[in-house]
Structure 1
């Protein structure tokens, strides 16, 4: 019965899907539109046809096809009243405007007009589209749009303005002063949606200008808990850098500055995030800012991420590996958390073993070493097994009390059939035996030389015997005899060591009496030496032949102190196993890739106390309150919005003088804009008055008629309400429930809201009173 019910449900879903597909006007898989059909739909009067054509173009564009041939037809649709059409047109323009700058200029004025739309989503899309049209000729217009949008009542519009600063600065850095002032105002914003975008703009435009950052620091720390997870990750980059350069370092007594303590308390919210990057960013902030007694806070969050999926687990292990370079005590009690699982891939297993190598000590060796031995002899992946051998060798070098146990195990590993295991074991033995040469280990290596099939093992054995020749003076000649027999078939690194052993043995055993008697047949070492020189003479390696000639000249006077000091002196080994990842900082791509990545910026060192600013530079009002207000653009009863003046849109910025601020285009055409270089805003205002284009008062009956027309045409408030609902679902609040911005924000009065105007207002909106709540007829309930 249950199966029948389930099948009936599936059949019902299938029928519904067929019906939806049948009723849909857009089907890209079964219906391909030709060039003529697309042009016809784009020029049609039907909004449904225009949407179908635009959807088809966007899909083709996302598949990598070039659809720039339709640019003139798409640009015409920017004047559409349908918000969905305008949204798709904006997407199209951002991709192709840079390649068609002349045509793109034709739609800039229309996009600019939408900055005064009553819908905040439309205004946000307008500033985004205008800043994405990367045409240098409109940089001034983009800047003015940014200056206007940072005073908008909608936080979404202000966020888009902050992101537009990045694009404006990348195109024209000459607007640095104006953009810095915009960033200063945005950093002082009290909405958690705006401040992270302002921090991103700060990092890109003026990362060293902490004068504008000081007043906003405590406000940002207070707002930090309200940031989204991604915003927290972006914000912490700036906060860490600011704290290291402007706050005192935690003392050895673990006293923490009050502002640093405020920041660390804010970072605590990162550890409860479901986004791994936010948790890692919080751990990075604690690692670089927290005092020593607070560093154990990051241990549990990092260990918790080890249970996540493989990519997150690997990145977390890379962070832990970096931390254990300098702070191994944090994870020593959790070393079992880094034991390998069958599901671990090669990279994860290798990083785990590298972490274990930093945590292994005599106290936990009794249960860690058996685990490592199991990996060496039983793990199916050779690279993992060889890394376990390297871990054992690293432990033997650091723990002298366990060196004998590790040496015996490494000597056994030389007989393994796995070449990688033998190579790592020989490399570890080279350091261990050289630092503590014992005759029994050297004799054992010489006795099993013929069993070696890995060139590294042979080269290490010959090198150790030649370096400790005084202890092995009676074993070395026979080892040289065995090695010379297969000289022609050996690798180059083995040939080098055979030549070195022959030369050193010749100088060490030759006495003055033997040299005078010239009885070469009675000394086998001399015969072996000359034989090696003769066969090297015919070797294919230039370097080996040159080295043999050098040795021959050097041994022409074998009894001099110079010769013996060069050939027989002990040499120190350099540790070449240093991991380069410890040179990079947490939170960077370089530490994850173990290599330098272009754009890498290290975390700065703590600033000297003498250059740290006083605490009063960070004094600010922490009373962050949000007030429900209709705002200056939340009109529902009229579509005729009076545009802001150029003075009002600057937000009272004293840096924007009349000589440097860009001219506001308003309603004039682009041809008039580029032809009237010397005309001022007042002259434009007089021309509009002479043409009789001043606004006339709009009655309530006319407003109602326009609303009815919008409803009948399928556009207007219904579309806007749909977008507002989407905005509420995404951000959890209504775009009309917005706070009253700072004192630089202007407001419209009710009288002006009911007045249509097509010219630039010369009266600053700053001089207009704020609408009281009881008089605001468009206030959202």
Structure 2
């Protein structure tokens, strides 16, 4: 029979999650004041259980706080956990616990000292930081290593709230001293804290010197596995002085390749790969190559999720250094019970590792995959055979024969995918494997997917002179021309013209019919334009038509290594992070770059992040009871001037929010979109729209207060964005509080701040969203949303161009930068359209009729964003048609799509 003590521990605590009685709060309040310690402990456990499942137990704050004066560590931990969760909403009452924190920080028991410091670090209330500094300073020099390592993590948490305080008190220097600590766990936490601060501030606070390097390498062998990850990640950012030093570090790191924890292995691989760039000795590189293969292969014996992460990283590694795994291709052969996402990744790596030495076994494997039951995997496998043919010229014939075998299987989706890849093989090796065309033509009736149809039509048109009945085959597709996908229609149009140019007598009627359907019956502007181009070419200069349509095309290239070398190098440096899984640089998806402390910045810059605090290995960090974290760095804001411990580099006379525009209910009449439904914003429903008046953008906001308390004032903050937008005034002060159940509006003036510009990769579409964080200053809660910004709100007067400048710019921009769309209008009046555009700073340049089309007229306009990017546009109107065709050109293609959408909105 179990003892009473064993019954009250462990798994039996689940009983605290099943209490759903009426009057429970009153009962809990009585139990919290009980003189029986076990009853009090159970009561606090019930409170924590209610808090964990989302119940509001903040009304018991004072009662729980009364339990803080105890010698029982279990009870103290529970009370501290409760405080961490509710401190933000009850900052004044939390101050009542400060004396206990300070007292516990001097307790003889090191566990209690560490607990006090950790809790004070997790309570993100500005006024608590004033009392935290002295205990934290003592704890960083404490005789017990557990206290020191906890205090190290606390410095990183404090830096998030008050960076100047950390620097002024010399905590960064103390963290540097901790790297020389005798205890490896303290070293690891010191490194973790410095790394977090470096990432948050944008400064190199780590400053790895030769002496620091040796201490890190020494601690590497003794600290915990997660400590090793932190140290290895720091080493990967260090640049060795020369090849000899790089070899020395690699020698100390390579034992970590055999570690049981996959995170340690991947971090060690990252260090070795980064340092290999500095080594020139071929023998050393070959040795390291042999050492890296086994740990990477071992990762493929893990659970599927770990396998997937490993495979995404390996995908990058084999593009950078294929020699590492060139002899291990068999380990990437898919198993029957692998999840589909693992199989797909293995296929990608198989293609990258395929060579003339192993292509036979690869083709046998891929052929086997083509008989699987998963359709997507079968398609990918058939496509992989074609990619092997494109990659390996000597193996192309063998790949073609395998594809023909698969076509003879008569499986519909296999045949269709095979047609697509054979088309690519023809483009890679023109006039070499055309003998298979007859087999493809036998399977025309099985083709029902647009891509397969388009591929087959391209083949017929390209090799019409070798296909006796090419015109009949194309004619069979023309019967359903109007119902076909646009890609099929475009292929049919081009193939028919090719056929006509090669055999005009037999196909004259057919080409006339296709051109009529493309130009007169189609609503697709791309198809119509191509039809008109072909028609004019054929009617004016057939020889020119031949030169254009039947010209020699460049052969397609092997796309096995798809990543640009610069991007690949960036991703290799990010191995074992989300970047290496997404195959994107961090700045494209991470919103945590905080450069508030950059030396050349004149204004405050804020950014928020989605991660918890570092140091979770301590068992207590990481944000405690899941309470709201002050990601805005706005804790303790004083709207009447200044802030407590928040950086303020501006010159607004101590007013953190400046003196920008904005006012209650002052917004223009704009269409607003709901961005917060109240579920994640404490009952506050928010709708947002954007407007512009007198060349000044604004964000128009409606608030519906479904919470239990009035909304008196808010603070708003933007993340870095593609438009360099920031609030002109971060304070939202309502003339009268928005009472529960009521609504209110606010017009927030926006300004263009270059420091708020998010990096946009050239050629990559700029994200249209602006990420916004709002803090309720009455209760401290924070919520976030993203709103789609409308580019026309920042079109400026500088967008007007002289005609000569417009023509020169238009000619200078390549045609590949053009974006097309068709805009539905309420009427076909061109003058009205020009007036609508002018109202949004889209300026009229010229207007002329279309040659040989008296019922059409072209209008040219220009505009420019506040970042100086110019956009040129051509609008084609047709008499009696309530629509126009829009073409937008710009040197900066990242913003072209947003400009096209903006002009469409201006016209509607």
User: What is the TM-score when the length of structure 1 is the normalising length?
Assistant: 0.67
> Structure 1 residues 418 and 97, CA, compared in 2 at 3 Å: closer, same or farther?
farther
> Structure 1 residues 527 and 135, CA, compared in 2 at 3 Å: closer, same or farther?
same
1:168 maps to: 158
1:538 maps to: 521
Q: Is the 8 A contact 1:187 1:195 kept in 2?
A: yes
175, 181, 185: which one pairs with 2:173? 181
1:55 maps to: 45
> Structure 1 residues 595 and 240, CA, compared in 2 at 3 Å: closer, same or farther?
closer
Alignment partners' CA distance in 2, 1:426 and 1:30? 61
Displacement of 1:156: 0.8
Alignment partners' CA distance in 2, 1:19 and 1:79? 24
237, 248, 262: which one pairs with 1:276? 262
Alignment partners' CA distance in 2, 1:84 and 1:236? 35
User: What is the TM-score when the length of structure 2 is the normalising length?
Assistant: 0.58
Say if 2:358 is the partner of 1:358: no
1:424 maps to: 417
265, 272, 275: which one pairs with 1:286? 272
1:589 maps to: 578
Displacement of 1:414: 4.1
1:235 maps to: 231
2:391 maps to: 398
Say if 2:299 is the partner of 1:317: no
212, 221, 225: which one pairs with 1:225? 221
Say if 2:105 is the partner of 1:119: no
The residue correspondences of 1:114-513 to structure 2 (distance < 5 A) are 114-177=104-167, 178-206=170-198, 208-211=204-207, 213-242=209-238, 245-248=239-242, 250=243, 256-257=244-245, 260-290=246-276, 291=279, 292-293=285-286, 294-376=288-370, 378-414=371-407, 418=411, 420-436=413-429, 437-438=431-432, 439-468=434-463, 471-472=465-466, 475-510=469-504
The residue correspondences of 1:610-649 to structure 2 (distance < 5 A) are none
> Structure 1 residues 128 and 419, CA, compared in 2 at 3 Å: closer, same or farther?
farther
Q: Which runs of 5+ in 1 are unaligned?
A: 1-14, 251-255, 511-522, 602-660, 663-781
Post-superposition Cα deviations, 1:711-767, rounded to whole Å, max 9, x if no partner, equal xxxxxxxxxxxxxxxxxxxxxxxxxxxxxxxxxxxxxxxxxxxxxxxxxxxxxxxxx
> Structure 1 residues 62 and 419, CA, compared in 2 at 3 Å: closer, same or farther?
farther
2:33 maps to: 43
Alignment partners' CA distance in 1, 2:18 and 2:160? 42
Q: Is the 8 A contact 2:155 2:166 kept in 1?
A: no
Displacement of 1:51: 0.8
Greater fraction of residues in helix: 1
Alignment partners' CA distance in 1, 2:8 and 2:330? 59
Displacement of 1:176: 4.6
544, 552, 555: which one pairs with 2:535? 552
> Structure 1 residues 225 and 341, CA, compared in 2 at 3 Å: closer, same or farther?
same
Q: Point out the more displaced range, 451-460 or 20-29.
A: 20-29
Alignment partners' CA distance in 2, 1:363 and 1:432? 21
1:647 maps to: none
Alignment partners' CA distance in 1, 2:209 and 2:97? 37
Post-superposition Cα deviations, 1:531-578, rounded to whole Å, max 9, x if no partner, equal 1123332234343234323322332213353x3332221223466675
Q: Is the 8 A contact 1:434 1:464 kept in 2?
A: no
> Structure 1 residues 168 and 55, CA, compared in 2 at 3 Å: closer, same or farther?
same
Alignment partners' CA distance in 2, 1:494 and 1:31? 64
Alignment partners' CA distance in 2, 1:46 and 1:79? 14
Q: Is the 8 A contact 1:379 1:385 kept in 2?
A: yes
Q: Is the 8 A contact 1:143 1:168 kept in 2?
A: no
Displacement of 1:595: 4.8
| Poorly superposed stretches of 4+, deviation over 6 Å | 22-26
Displacement of 1:361: 1.7
Alignment partners' CA distance in 2, 1:105 and 1:181? 29
Alignment partners' CA distance in 2, 1:375 and 1:272? 33
Q: Is the 8 A contact 1:506 1:525 kept in 2?
A: yes
Greater fraction of residues in strand: 2
Q: Is the 8 A contact 1:389 1:421 kept in 2?
A: yes
Q: Is the 8 A contact 2:68 2:79 kept in 1?
A: yes
Q: Is the 8 A contact 2:91 2:125 kept in 1?
A: yes
2:301 aligns to what SS in structure 1?
A: coil
Q: Which runs of 5+ in 2 are unaligned?
A: 280-284, 591-643, 646-908
Higher RCO (C-alpha 8 Å, min separation 6): 1
The residue correspondences of 1:75-94 to structure 2 (distance < 5 A) are 75-94=65-84
Post-superposition Cα deviations, 1:420-441, rounded to whole Å, max 9, x if no partner, equal 5344323321221123223423
Alignment partners' CA distance in 2, 1:119 and 1:404? 76
Displacement of 1:155: 0.7
Displacement of 1:468: 4.7
542, 549, 555: which one pairs with 1:567? 549
Post-superposition Cα deviations, 1:432-459, rounded to whole Å, max 9, x if no partner, equal 1123223423444345434433332221
Post-superposition Cα deviations, 1:454-489, rounded to whole Å, max 9, x if no partner, equal 3322211222343455x5485533333232233234
Displacement of 1:57: 0.8
Displacement of 1:87: 1.3
> Structure 1 residues 266 and 66, CA, compared in 2 at 3 Å: closer, same or farther?
farther
> Structure 1 residues 22 and 409, CA, compared in 2 at 3 Å: closer, same or farther?
closer
Post-superposition Cα deviations, 1:318-340, rounded to whole Å, max 9, x if no partner, equal 22222111222222222222222
Displacement of 1:31: 5.8
> Structure 1 residues 570 and 144, CA, compared in 2 at 3 Å: closer, same or farther?
farther
1:247 aligns to what SS in structure 2?
A: coil
Q: Which has the larger radius of gyration?
A: 1
